[in-house]
Structure 1
């Protein structure tokens, strides 16, 4: 992103906001699965929950200019199929022309702000189905944290169920990211055992009046063959933030991508903020894994 691009973006935001809708209508779209049957989606919806850290940098994502520059690099690399993000980021990238021919998945529930007493309250504060349809996006993603001691979980389950049903009525993907979770010393922790992930998958895939357009987004954990036997739904692997353990994470991704039912990767910070800051190289490494798989 050049300085001129940045200035034009600021000016358009202030003077011509209607151009966002025009860019959405004019955007060249694509089929969900084309030549390959594996997808590489770049995720950028963490900032909307106040989660700005990557690796050992607690405010890595604090600069919107820096994030947009990294996203433009990532989306320009061969083998990258699309973006998962909140409206603010999607709209910036639409104005920058970075989403032509890409899949765009809108992040829907960002209400559980990181570190708050209400973090389990994953209410829908970003995209809804109507706006996803209006903007010509390809689906919606929802976080579904299941806390046994958290009353807010009931509302999350109901809201996710409604969103899945609504998206399916338009033939759009509902990307469900389930976690079996609890608070440990005041901080939300996910059960990343095979048993914990399997429990969350069964609840997530049972939501909504139909699962015809539901995809799962799950973490890579030990015993992934057993984990993947828990579903027949298309499943994308959550990249997470491996920090200094990037090579171990990459090895786990490679193994999991070979399993039946796994349809690709959804990765954000691991590719946008690698330890050496070489975004292009990190994205190319992930894309090469999908080619091998």
Structure 2
């Protein structure tokens, strides 16, 4: 067990009595010299869903609400040698730092979490997490931003503008800007639905690629398209988004595998699919994903 009662109690003690422990943990983290592994790939575990209220996994609407369980699963995943690091909101990153789990790992800070899942303003995704200055000050390796594009919702505009500013600010410090551009529209009930057709995904890629004063440090985080020629729309490095898990882990992995063979794709960013597999075996799910990445690259 990675998160023993003693370790858990010490985390809670630090949270309550020693807030400066967080800053010390940021300062002492041993950084990895390169974003890419020695095989020039990048495999990250995503853990920023709870910060925008997205807690569900399958039929369990609050699966990610139990923080001790989430951290236990993250520790299991990060222990796998193929996992390069984590993408997380400040609270999760800091807890992992206090648990000494992020030395020699890539840490990407999640920046905009204000578009709460299911909210009327979801498209207007304000920056409520890390900003560029904090990512530099805390010695993290980059920042991730979610960019949902809905031509019929003016809330897209402030998010688009904020993402462009963040790309420029991160580039000024030589940090990766990981942009996740997703085309959306609303169905007859008003619910947001992601468009997975090739033209919409290609358009989202080109919009995201042009954000900011330079694209030198921009990476894209994209769902694995059925038509991988969608990825011909960019020369920027791409990591494939694992997405929400189905009841068929083998099918999930197969759906990522094709995209991983494309030349611009450098790896995977996966969260719930690996942290909450149907059989509960996080280590096996991570190992299966690592095998798919190795086979593709």
Tell me the equivalent position of 1:209.
Answer: 213
Please list the CA deviations of residues 206-226 of structure 1 after superposition, one character each: whole Å capped at 9, or x if unmatched.
1000000000000012111x1
* CA distance in structure 2 between the aligned counterparts of 1:117 and 1:56, rounded to whole angstroms: 22
Q: Does residue 228 in structure 1 map to residue 218 in structure 2? A: no
* CA distance in structure 2 between the aligned counterparts of 1:186 and 1:59, rounded to whole angstroms: 23
Note if contact 1:82-1:103 (Cα within 8 Å) is conserved in structure 2.
Answer: yes
The RMSD of aligned alpha carbons is 0.8
Tell me the equivalent position of 1:259.
Answer: 262
Give 1:241 deviation, angstroms. 1.1
Tell me the equivalent position of 2:197.
Answer: 193
* CA distance in structure 1 between the aligned counterparts of 2:41 and 2:230, rounded to whole angstroms: 19
* Unaligned runs of at least 5 residues, structure 2: none
Give 1:242 deviation, angstroms. 2.6
Tell me the equivalent position of 2:15.
Answer: 13
* CA distance in structure 2 between the aligned counterparts of 1:71 and 1:242, rounded to whole angstroms: 16
Tell me the equivalent position of 2:27.
Answer: 25
* CA distance in structure 1 between the aligned counterparts of 2:293 and 2:20, rounded to whole angstroms: 38
Matches within 5 A, 1:92-111: 92-111=95-114
Q: TM-score, normalised by structure 2?
A: 0.97
The one of 40, 43, 50 equivalent to 1:40 is 43
Matches within 5 A, 1:105-184: 105-184=108-187
Give 1:183 deviation, angstroms. 1.5
* CA distance in structure 2 between the aligned counterparts of 1:245 and 1:150, rounded to whole angstroms: 34
Note if contact 1:78-1:284 (Cα within 8 Å) is conserved in structure 2.
Answer: no
Tell me, what secondary structure is at the counterpart of 2:248?
Answer: helix
* Unaligned runs of at least 5 residues, structure 1: none
Give 1:252 deviation, angstroms. 1.9
Give the 4+ runs in structure 1 shifted more than 4 A: none
Give 1:56 deviation, angstroms. 2.3
Range with bigger deviation, 63-72 or 26-35: 26-35
* CA distance in structure 2 between the aligned counterparts of 1:16 and 1:188, rounded to whole angstroms: 41
* CA distance in structure 1 between the aligned counterparts of 2:35 and 2:42, rounded to whole angstroms: 9
Equivalenced residues, count: 292
Note if contact 1:74-1:279 (Cα within 8 Å) is conserved in structure 2.
Answer: yes
Give 1:27 deviation, angstroms. 0.5
Tell me the equivalent position of 1:64.
Answer: 67
Give 1:22 deviation, angstroms. 0.7
Note if contact 2:37-2:84 (Cα within 8 Å) is conserved in structure 1.
Answer: no
Tell me the equivalent position of 2:6.
Answer: 4
Please list the CA deviations of residues 132-189 of structure 1 after superposition, one character each: whole Å capped at 9, or x if unmatched.
1111100000000111111111101110000000000000000000011112212111
Note if contact 1:54-1:243 (Cα within 8 Å) is conserved in structure 2.
Answer: no
Give 1:55 deviation, angstroms. 2.0
Q: TM-score, normalised by structure 1?
A: 0.98
Please list the CA deviations of residues 248-275 of structure 1 after superposition, one character each: whole Å capped at 9, or x if unmatched.
2211212211110100000000000000
Please list the CA deviations of residues 46-85 of structure 1 after superposition, one character each: whole Å capped at 9, or x if unmatched.
1011100112221110101110000000001110001000
